[in-house]
Structure 1
């Protein structure tokens, strides 16, 4: 087999999705399966669909094109570029938007193609990433949108945690609900979707609180692939944490000092490394590095292995305290968190293997 290898358990992703979809359904919330961490993997998107999602979302059009043959609705998460509107209308059923100029261009293209494109208007309730911040500006844009051909204003959405780290609360999500009610009253229209953020919004359910009534959609990725809620650093009961396992091969084992010898300056990534002197230690090097993985977002299945660090191409481990007598050519298994999965899926040097069982 080819290494390094990323093993992806599709049944575990399907199982996690079923669990989370079931939880959300009790609150009247539709789950949009966010597939962006996988670089548009057809197999992972299908696993989410098998778990019950009816919309697959991604930030990149290239990834939506890759899953065009899966029979579900597609949502573009990242605000559309005007230069790519033709492809947006062709490959996305829904897009998140905040700029009237872009929406007008979508209208032009959709009308020419004889299509109706669904728009979720993004509202910034405090995280300060994308979205309209001032309430008056929202009303002005809605007034213009409802005049456009080829556009269906599906509803309102917001994003929290990703940039400013602002946690979803009943108060800030409540702003979205209040705004929806005002828009419906003023313009005599119906907004069918209130998209209340990402996996971080699940913490309200976890804490036994009620997600504000009216929020009827969440865009979920981490909770489906890892069964975790990031803001509370917790695992959703009944889900699998290990759907992604990285397997790397040992290329060197040597007894070496634990502290480099000589004057220490910036490493290849501009950082000044700090080392604790623990004497002579047994070290292993695996054939994978920071170009392919994020060392801070992974851990070894062998709890006695210490990840010391790495360079672009090498992962350096302390195996002194291990009960296993590792040798050159042996394989080390790592469980990955979100950021490490993102880098591994993006790297062309990591072999991806989809498991149909287990």
Structure 2
């Protein structure tokens, strides 16, 4: 098959492998895993690879993505707190949703009643990161109101840290959820089955055996797709970091200076660039730009290649020190960080190819 560039090649067998590793590590601590699909736009081949790895529940932040996988045989979670304008779709296409606003939960209750369904929710609690969540002191009054609603099942408490404020999960802030669960049991004589203790940033606690035993669910994306926890960026043992490879085609290659000639002003993105004078270098231009990917998240597989910069449509790289003699039409390969992967998989201009029968070497 002739491939069109730029493209992302997805090694599905490595996704399956990583899913198995993460699931095994979490299940050993009594923690269920929600496989997060938003970074790859809930593309069916990748979800199927996760399911082959043992994942039985997936989560996405976009209701559009849950709609397109409505017939997949797995439980589905809406990760972004529900919009009041989409409550009927939330009830239709998710088995459980994360929520923090009582008015929205009431709207979900009305929607569920209209649809003759029961809808499960996890109440999000802000333990310090200042993204979504009810403040700790407001949890009990909020829970009291939720218990009055028809067709709504409160199945647990959850939190999200690291993504906005950079607050690390630890025994203190996750311990607040544990205390709240106990307080709910004492106040209402109801045992909530779930404490959803965050995302891939919480995995380091599983790895270090410091996770409170009451935390029994994590929502994991990056660890499965890129093989690393996200609090400290450490690789997870026996996981792959190259399941997704971005490839771009060289459209120009010339020896040029490293400092532009003329007065420097703003670039196309409103920034004033600065240049280090390295003399004449062998510079290749790839048909891949900021409209396609987050270029500062690109990691060349050829470690002798460095990136000069990019415009909307062109990536400029330094190939002077590479052992390969590059020419027009050659393909350059990159690993990606999470932000770059998110942009590339979302871009309409980046083609996606799935390697279904890829033999993988043991790590």
Q: For the residues of structure 2 that align with 1:200 and 1:357, how far apart are their CA atoms?
A: 31
Alignment correspondent of 1:250 = 250
Q: For the residues of structure 2 that align with 1:55 and 1:149, how far apart are their CA atoms?
A: 25
Match of 2:54 among 47, 52, 55: 52
The equivalences for 1:68-217 within 5 A come to 68-135=70-137, 137-206=138-207, 208-217=208-217
Q: For the residues of structure 1 that align with 2:91 and 2:77, how far apart are their CA atoms?
A: 11
TM-score if structure 1 supplies the norm length?
0.98
Alignment correspondent of 2:42 = 40
Does the 8 A contact of 1:21 with 1:52 survive in 2?
A: yes
Residue 209 of structure 1: how far off its partner (Å) = 3.0
Alignment correspondent of 2:65 = 63
Q: For the residues of structure 1 that align with 2:254 and 2:104, how far apart are their CA atoms?
A: 58
Q: For the residues of structure 1 that align with 2:279 and 2:106, how far apart are their CA atoms?
A: 66
Where structure 1 has 5 or more consecutive residues not aligned to the other structure, the ranges are: none
Does the 8 A contact of 2:170 with 2:205 survive in 1?
A: yes
Match of 1:31 among 27, 30, 33: 33
Is 1:324 equivalent to 2:334 in the alignment? Answer: no
Q: For the residues of structure 2 that align with 1:337 and 1:250, how far apart are their CA atoms?
A: 22
Q: For the residues of structure 2 that align with 1:312 and 1:50, how far apart are their CA atoms?
A: 37
Residue 234 of structure 1: how far off its partner (Å) = 1.1
Q: Which consecutive segments of 4 or more residues in structure 1 shift more than 4 A?
A: none
Q: For the residues of structure 1 that align with 2:230 and 2:103, how far apart are their CA atoms?
A: 34
CA deviation string 1:222-269 (max 9, x = no partner) = 001111012211110100110000110000001110111111111111
Does the 8 A contact of 1:294 with 1:339 survive in 2?
A: yes
Alignment correspondent of 2:312 = 312
Does the 8 A contact of 1:45 with 1:67 survive in 2?
A: no
Does the 8 A contact of 1:123 with 1:130 survive in 2?
A: yes
Does the 8 A contact of 1:223 with 1:229 survive in 2?
A: yes
CA deviation string 1:294-332 (max 9, x = no partner) = 111111111111111100000001111111000001110
Equivalent residues, number: 356
Root-mean-square deviation over aligned CA pairs: 0.9
Residue 144 of structure 1: how far off its partner (Å) = 1.2
The equivalences for 1:223-234 within 5 A come to 223-234=223-234
Does the 8 A contact of 1:125 with 1:175 survive in 2?
A: yes
Does the 8 A contact of 1:116 with 1:152 survive in 2?
A: yes
Q: For the residues of structure 1 that align with 2:352 and 2:11, how far apart are their CA atoms?
A: 11
Does the 8 A contact of 2:285 with 2:316 survive in 1?
A: yes
Residue 205 of structure 1: how far off its partner (Å) = 2.3
Residue 272 of structure 1: how far off its partner (Å) = 1.2
Does the 8 A contact of 1:54 with 1:72 survive in 2?
A: yes
Residue 52 of structure 1: how far off its partner (Å) = 1.3
Alignment correspondent of 2:6 = 4
Q: For the residues of structure 1 that align with 2:267 and 2:209, how far apart are their CA atoms?
A: 47
Q: For the residues of structure 2 that align with 1:325 and 1:4, how far apart are their CA atoms?
A: 21
Does the 8 A contact of 2:127 with 2:136 survive in 1?
A: no
Q: For the residues of structure 2 that align with 1:213 and 1:301, how far apart are their CA atoms?
A: 40
Residue 210 of structure 1: how far off its partner (Å) = 2.3
Residue 189 of structure 1: how far off its partner (Å) = 1.0
